[in-house]
Structure 1
Amino acid sequence: MPATISKAEEARIERVIQAAISGSWNEFSRLTDAPFSNDASMMEQFADSSQRLQEAGGNWKMNSGVGIAPDGTRLITTTIEAPPAVDILLCMHSTSDKNDSTISIWTFNQQLSWD
């Protein structure tokens, strides 16, 4: 049986999207439980994704999936499809599917298409 998104992970995804729509870097940066590996890079990713989501005006479809690492931690991948704009990929890491999981934002950037 495939892993599913936990309630805590789903809530965090929603809060990330809302922070991006509002354009609030301060709110977005508080949504990661571990420091970003590169603040400047994440700030650029946020600015670009925020602008794209604002331009889409809520006209998008989201799909999320969970991959389980050998150590039991979880990679949460959310694709935000907003045609005709470029899709956005949000990747987060979660320590477990429990409510007290540590959830970290890893990337929030446009999804490249190789078509």
Structure 2
Amino acid sequence: MEDEKKAEKEYKERANEAQKAKDVFEKAHQIRNETQEKVRLASLAVAQEFQAQEKPVQQRTECNICFEEFNSEERKESVLHCGHRSCYKCLAELPNKLCPICRKEFTTEQIIKFF
């Protein structure tokens, strides 16, 4: 009889632990889905910004700051979240992290390097 009570108590504890684990998993899954949706919306906003530019996209081969040609070593072509392009070196070395074209703030971590 006592063994049955112990077994029943242990079963309830394990069921409770399993429910807690399931709740943690579901919360993490919900956060993941919300994050994916935020990334999707941000990507769409960036794409719309590129499409909404007044001028047609020019195929520039040089940096907007130093006017050196982009290359695969020192002058990697990079883009900011506002859509403006320059070389990574110039963007990373700017003392005030403001886009040289539209003056939007950015951080070094937000600079996207093209390959």
TM-score normalised over the length of structure 2? 0.26
Compare CA radii of gyration and give the structure with the larger one.
2
Structure with greater proportional strand content: 1
**RCO (CA 8 Å, sep 6+): is it higher in 1 or 2?**
1
Structure with greater proportional helix content: 2
